[in-house]
Amino acid sequence: MAKDTEHDADWHKSLVEKLASDALTERRRARRWGIFFKLLTFAYLAFLLVLLIPEDWSESAMQDEQHTALVKLEGVIAPGEKAAADTVVTGLRDAFEDENTKAVILRINSPGGSPVQSSDMHKEVLRLREKYPDIPLYAVVSDICASGGYFVASAADRIYVNESSIVGSIGVLMNGFGFVDAMDELGIERRLMTAGEHKGILDPFSPVGEFDREHLDTLLQDLHGTFIDAVKSGRGERLKADDVTLFSGLFWSGRESIALGLADEIGSASYVAREVVGVEEIVDFTKKEDALSRLADRLGASVARALARIGGLDGLQLR
């Protein structure tokens, strides 16, 4: 009987020890998971903090002395791209508004793009130059400054190029394909229904009529005229060639563009800051979009491009 009592006591003791051990193990496991989730929450909050950093927070915030401001216009000029009007204009405004800016350099490397986006940037450059008359704006061309890119550059005080830069292409382009003959050969019937007599004017599977050609030519000439007026207004008497040559859509090397009056001098951004502005310190004011904004903008741009294709208007460009 004594042995049974002793056995029961040992069993109870073992059970209590096991329960205590299990509880301790569970507590340690819970602590580890707690640490894991705290670290995960911290990482998430840190990620949100990075996304919420103000767009105008940059190296310029730590500059107490005068500097030369730099804004980049790079790539195809179109909504949702790095060279979108909203992106470039925001950088220009920040650059001009900074009290330590001595001059602004707009560094361009673009083949052109949207007429509207190019015009918006051109107008904003003129507005900022008028609002801040003591701050000059210089356009500096790297590889290429063509069509819509030159539309924007023509509003600058002066244009600097490299000897090997490509400059010009002052014209308007609308392109596409026609498959009418191919459809006839394949025996395919085109069934196009529209509300509006000329709604299918750019349909690639329908022949282009005389009215279509005349209407599109009028549209292109109108846009070209706006482009020409902007260049003449910006460059004025510096243009040294006849209109037929300058506004034919041709493009030239940097050295040739100077001879034609489309550019002023050879020079890079660092050269302009050092030798022209006299302030070698360059601060980049180019707008840097956060990840969420870039995703939303690209999604919106994709939708816009899809709608443009449906309407047949995606081929109109200053390129």
Q: How confident is the model at residue 223 (pLDDT cuts 50, 70, 90)?
A: very high
pLDDT, residue 299, reads 55
Same domain, residue pair 222 and 79 = yes
Q: How confident is the model at residue 56 (pLDDT cuts 50, 70, 90)?
A: very low
Average pLDDT over residues 74-93: 95
Domain count across the chain:
2
In a domain, 187, yes or no: yes
Residue 161's CB is within 10 A of a number of other CB atoms, namely: 29
- Could you read off the pLDDT of 277-289 as tens digits, one per residue? 999 999 999 998 6
What distance in Å separates the CA atoms of residue 299 and residue 297, rounded to the nearest whole number? 5
Same domain, residue pair 77 and 42 = no
Same domain, residue pair 155 and 240 = yes
Average pLDDT over residues 267-294: 86
Q: How confident is the model at residue 212 (pLDDT cuts 50, 70, 90)?
A: confident
- Continuous segment of H or E residues that includes residue 80: none
Report which of 234, 227, 229 is spatially closest to residue 119, judged by C-alpha positions: 227
Q: Is the pLDDT of residue 318 over 60?
A: no
Same domain, residue pair 183 and 148 = yes
CATH number, domain containing residue 95: 3.90.226.10
In a domain, 5, yes or no: no
Same domain, residue pair 28 and 124 = no
Q: What percent of the chain has pLDDT over 90?
A: 53
Residue 159's CB is within 10 A of a number of other CB atoms, namely: 30
Lowest-pLDDT choice from 43-57, 201-215, 252-266:
43-57
Average pLDDT over residues 80-104: 95
DSSP state at residue 318: B
In a domain, 234, yes or no: yes
Bridge partner residues of 266 (DSSP): 161
pLDDT, residue 272, reads 97
pLDDT, residue 120, reads 96
Instruction: Identify the residue whose tokens are 């009592």.
Output: 5
Same domain, residue pair 288 and 175 = yes
Q: Is the pLDDT of residue 31 over 80?
A: no
Instruction: Identify the residue whose tokens are 């690209």.
Output: 298
pLDDT, residue 193, reads 82
The mean of the pLDDT values for the chain is 83
pLDDT, residue 198, reads 79
DSSP labels, 255-308 = HHHHHHTS--EE--HHHIIIIIIS---EEE------HHHHHHHHHHHHHHHHHH
Same domain, residue pair 36 and 181 = no
Same domain, residue pair 236 and 283 = yes
- Could you read off the pLDDT of 173-211 as tens digits, one per residue? 887 777 777 777 778 877 778 888 878 787 777 778 888
Same domain, residue pair 44 and 71 = no
The beta strand positions in 2-118, using DSSP E, are 67-74, 101-110
What distance in Å separates the CA atoms of residue 265 and residue 268, rounded to the nearest whole number? 10
Q: Is the pLDDT of residue 157 over 60?
A: yes
pLDDT, residue 208, reads 80
Same domain, residue pair 155 and 86 = yes
Instruction: Compute the half-sphere exposure of residue 305: CA atoms within 13 Å on the CB side of its CA.
Output: 12
In a domain, 227, yes or no: yes
pLDDT, residue 300, reads 55
In a domain, 286, yes or no: yes
Instruction: Identify the residue whose tokens are 């900074």.
Output: 98
Q: How confident is the model at residue 216 (pLDDT cuts 50, 70, 90)?
A: confident
Same domain, residue pair 72 and 30 = no
pLDDT, residue 186, reads 76
Q: What percent of the chain has pLDDT over 70?
A: 74
In a domain, 58, yes or no: no
Average pLDDT over residues 55-84: 80
In a domain, 290, yes or no: yes
Output the pTM of the full model.
Answer: 0.72
In a domain, 3, yes or no: no
Q: How confident is the model at residue 122 (pLDDT cuts 50, 70, 90)?
A: very high
Which tokens hold the place of 308?
């443009």
Instruction: Compute the half-sphere exposure of residue 273: CA atoms within 13 Å on the CB side of its CA.
Output: 20
Same domain, residue pair 120 and 97 = yes
Report which of 195, 202, 238, 193 is spatially closest to residue 220, judged by C-alpha positions: 202
Of 65 and 40, the one with more pLDDT: 65
User: What spatial distance separates the first Cα and last Cα of the chain, rounded to whole Å?
Assistant: 105
Q: Is the pLDDT of residue 233 over 80?
A: yes
Residue 100 structural domain: 66-317
